[in-house]
Amino acid sequence: MTPHSALPAPIIERRFEDSGTLAEALADEVAARLDHALSERERASLIVSGGSTPISLFRELRTRPLPWLRIDVTLADERWVEPDHPDSNERLVRRELLQDAAAAANLIPLKTPADTPDAAIGECSARLSHLFTPFDVVILGMGNDGHTASLFPHTAALDIGLQPDGDALLVSCHPAEAPHARLSMTLSALLNTRHLVLHITGKDKRQVLEKALTGTEIRAMPIRALLQQNRTPIHVYWTG
Ligand code: 6PG
């Protein structure tokens, strides 16, 4: 018989009619989690992803009346471009999340002046070490190739990036199929949270998720590492 501890953590799905309704519900959930954390301690931590999916969520969340001054925000991953580059996740978060009530939040960027993400791992890990852990909320997206954060299929980054109990917080990634070198939180860091969310929209992403759920080869679809682990329940918010 399979020992209970070997079973994967639960996957809790919430399906929505459209992305706007999803964004409102997810913003309410995230705000409630942060509010609860701040009733227990001085600071709360929120880890968000880049890409296009979270924009509607950010626009909702930034209006929630939280004590944002006490909330630390950082990224699950960053593309190695200047913070004013259109592809910068930091730029996205500044423009779309750190507005309205949320302008007071403390953003911890993952970009440094270093030439490569490899050379910035030490400094960025030190920045993250000031955050309260387990993180209060981690929100991830997923690419159509099955990547999450910047853990891309068949990259060398996966050797360290997919260790479920490794010590490393960050890993550099040089995806052949996506623009820019990246810095990504590792699976181990991402799972160290009280509330883990996978936010996906569209039929294509749903099909990618179904494919990930029915196969086992993790390096081909790193999102499987989240779906198959037994440490942290995963809340899938989706519409499509
Ligand atoms: C990034 C991400 C990445 C993203 C997915 C989905 O910086 O590229 O954090 O993991 O979540 O690629 O991106 P979309 O939301 O644009 O589909």
pLDDT tens, residue by residue, 38-94:
999 999 999 999 999 999 999 999 999 999 999 999 999 999 999 999 999 999 999
Q: Please tell me the predicted confidence (pLDDT) of residue 164.
A: 82
Task: Please report the atom of ligand 1 found closest to the CA of residue 150.
Answer: 10
Quick check: CB of 77 below 6 Å from ligand 1?
Answer: yes
Q: Within the chain, which residues score under 50 in pLDDT? A: 1-3
How many other C-beta atoms can be found within 10 angstroms of the C-beta atom of residue 77?
Answer: 27
Q: Are 199 and 54 in contact (CB under 8 A)?
A: yes
Quick check: CB of 53 below 6 Å from ligand 1?
Answer: yes
Q: Please tell me the predicted confidence (pLDDT) of residue 61.
A: 98
Q: Please tell me the predicted confidence (pLDDT) of residue 2.
A: 44
Closest CA to 141 of 73, 72, 222: 222
For the chain, the 3-state helix, strand and coil shares in percent, each to the nearest 5, are 35, 20, 45
Quick check: CB of 49 below 6 Å from ligand 1?
Answer: yes
Q: Please tell me the predicted confidence (pLDDT) of residue 11.
A: 96
Q: How far apart are CA 75 and CA 59, in angstroms?
A: 17
Report the Cα 89 to chain-centroid distance in Å.
12
Helix (H) or strand (E) holding 47: strand 44-48
- How far does the centroid of ligand 1 lie from the alpha carbon of residue 66, in Å? 26
Q: Please tell me the predicted confidence (pLDDT) of residue 8.
A: 87
Quick check: CB of 148 below 6 Å from ligand 1?
Answer: yes
The preferred substitution site among 52, 85, 147 for testing ligand 1, maximizing ligand atoms within 8 Å of CB, is 147
* 10, 16, 20, 22 alpha-carbon torsion, rounded to 10°: -20
Q: Please tell me the predicted confidence (pLDDT) of residue 6.
A: 73
- How far does the centroid of ligand 1 lie from the alpha carbon of residue 145, in Å? 11
Q: Please tell me the predicted confidence (pLDDT) of residue 5.
A: 60
Closest CA to 198 of 137, 142, 134: 142
Closest Cα to atom 3 of ligand 1: 149
Coil, helix or strand at residue 216: coil
